[in-house]
Amino acid sequence: MNQPRILEVRTRILKDNDRIARDLRRQFVQTGTFVVSLVSSPGAGKTTLLQKTLTELSSRYRVAALVGDLATENDAKRLAESGVPVRQIVTGTVCHLEAAMIAEALKGWDLRALDILFIENVGNLVCPSSYDLGEHLRFVLLSTTEGEDKPLKYPTIFNTADVAVLTKTDLADAVGFDYAEAERSVQRVRPGMKIIATSSRNPDGLREYLGFLENRFQEFRCSVNGSSEK
C-alpha cells in the first residue's frame, strides 16, 4: 500500500467536455461555419422558431440543424420540411446535449458546405447550462406563456446564454404578459443581456431576430477571414 498523499488537482470536472467543445469551435472557425444553439424549457417554441429560421435563411445561406431530444425523431422530421439537412440526436435518458454528442453527430458532414449550423438542445432549463457545445452564440428562449419570472427561477441557464429570445409575443395580451417585468428578471440574472421579441405566427414577427442573426454571421465571417489573412 502506498503512503497517503494529498494531490492538489484543481481541474474542471467537465474538462473532457470543454476540450471537445474547444476542438469543435476551432474546427468551426476553420470551416467558416457559424454555430448557434437554442436552449429553453419544453414547449417554449424552439422547433417552430427553428423551422421558420431554416426556411427563411435557406434561400441565402447554406444552413443545417442538429436537434436533441430524449426520444422520437419528430422534431427532425418537422425541421426537415424546410428542405435543409437535419440530424436528430436521440439522447435516451440524458437530459442535455454534450460536446461529444455534437462531434459524433457531425461525423461525415462536410462543414465547409455549411454557413450556419443550428443546434436545438433538449427542452430543459437546468442541465444544458453546464455543457459547452462549441457554439458561437447561445440563444435562450423565453415564451410569454411561461411567466415573467422564469429567469429568476433558472438563473444559470440565462447566465450562460448570450441573447434572450422572447417567443409567442402574439399571445402576450391573451396571457397578460408584462414586458417590463420580464426585462427586469432577465437583467437581474444577466446584466446587459439583449432581448429580442419574436412571434413565429406573425409574418413580420422574426424580422429583428433574423437581422440580428445575419449580422452576427457576417461579423463571424469577417473575423474568420481577417485572422486567416494575417
Partner 1 sequence: MHELSIAMSLIDVITETLIRENADKALSVTVEVGALSGVVPEALQTAFVKAASNTPLQDCRLSIFYVPVSVHCSVCERICQVPPDGLLCPNCGSSNIDIVRGRELDVIRIETS
CB-nearer residue toward partner 1: 63 or 186: 186
Can residue 15 be called a binding residue for partner 1 (CB under 8 A)?
A: yes
Give the CA distances from residue 15 to residues 20, 24, 29, 198, in Å, rounded to whole numbers and listed in that order. 9, 14, 21, 36
Contacts of partner 1 in 61-120 (CB under 8 A) = 94-96, 98
The amino acid that residue 96 corresponds to is H
Quick one: which segment of 2-10, 27-35, 48-56, 165-173 binds partner 1 (CB under 8 A)? 2-10
Indicate the DSSP class of residue 169: G
- CB 10 to partner 1: min, Å: 6
CB-nearer residue toward partner 1: 8 or 229: 8
Quick one: which segment of 8-16, 34-42, 55-63, 202-210 binds partner 1 (CB under 8 A)? 8-16
Work out which of 30, 72, 156, 202 binds partner 1, going by CB under 8 A.
156
Select from 167, 135, 130, 138 the least CA-distant residue to 150.
167
Which residues lie closer than 8 Å to 180 by C-beta, 6 or more apart?
none
CB-nearer residue toward partner 1: 53 or 124: 124
Select from 143, 172, 115 the least CA-distant residue to 48.
143
CB-nearer residue toward partner 1: 129 or 200: 129
Select from 69, 205, 68 the least CA-distant residue to 144.
205
CB-nearer residue toward partner 1: 145 or 160: 160
Determine contact, residues 145/174, Cβ cutoff 8 Å: no
What are the CB-based long-range contacts (under 8 Å, 24+) for 179-186? 181/148, 181/149, 182/142, 182/148, 182/151, 185/148, 185/149, 185/150, 185/151, 185/152, 186/142, 186/151, 186/158
Can residue 195 be called a binding residue for partner 1 (CB under 8 A)?
A: no
Can residue 14 be called a binding residue for partner 1 (CB under 8 A)?
A: yes
- CB 16 to partner 1: min, Å: 7
- Secondary structure (3-state) at 50: helix
Can residue 31 be called a binding residue for partner 1 (CB under 8 A)?
A: no
Can residue 180 be called a binding residue for partner 1 (CB under 8 A)?
A: no
Can residue 160 be called a binding residue for partner 1 (CB under 8 A)?
A: yes
Question: Contact residues for partner 1 (CB under 8 A)?
Answer: 1-17, 94-96, 98, 126-127, 129-130, 151-153, 155-157, 159-160, 187-192
